[in-house]
Structures are given as structure tokens and as C-alpha cells.
Amino acid sequence: MILVRQEIGDVLRDFRLQKGRTLRQVASKASVALGYLSEVERGQKEASSEILASVAEALDVPISTIMREVGDRISVIEGLQVFPDVVPDDLVASMEPELSLH
């Protein structure tokens, strides 16, 4: 069974580590209890939309980016194809003759 709270926690932790921030720094900036944020990251607690928004802001990451990453990870777990948000430049270049209007 997929636990959305686990995926949210994993994504939040990954973004926090990518930003080089400690749990204490993010919790303080987001005005969230350190222990609670730790439980959210470990998938033990559900985070409200307000908490998610505060943590996203503390991480300087749009909440849409966080939720997109969560959705992509769940798609992979479900075995679904994950489609990129943008078409890679090399693919566009290879298809331009077919896409041009005659």
C-alpha cells in the first residue's frame, strides 16, 4: 500500500538535504516544532496544507514542485509512466521538420 504521507516526508527530506539545511533550521524558519517536522519527514505524521506551505516556503521551494515530485514518485511506485513537464531540446530539434507548417 502506498502511503502518501511517507512520500511527502521523503520529498521534504530530500529537498532539505539538497538545500544543505538542518531539520532544526527548517523547523525554526517554518515555525514548526522540530519533533513534529521530524515525524513528518519519517512519514509518521500527516502534515496539514498549512504546515506543508510553511515548510515549502522555509525551503524556498514552490509547494507545486514538492507535490509534483510526490506525484511522480507515486506514479513510479504504481508502475505508471512519468512524463516530463517539458520536452527535451534534443527531441524538439529532431522533430522540428515534422512540426513545421508547410
50-95 pLDDT, tens digit per residue, is 999 999 999 999 999 999 999 999 988 888 765 555 655 665 666 5
| All cell numbers assigned to 64 | 507545486
Q: Which residue has the cell 527530506?
A: 13
The owner of cell 520536452 is 87
Average pLDDT, the chain: 87
pTM of the shown model: 0.77
The residue-averaged pLDDT of 23-45 equals 97
- Chain centre distance of CA 93: 29
**Dihedral sign, CA of 24, 52, 57, 31?**
negative
Report the pLDDT value the prediction gives residue 80, as an integer from 0 to 100: 73
The pLDDT, as a whole number, for residue 37 is 98
Q: Which amino acid is at 55?
A: V
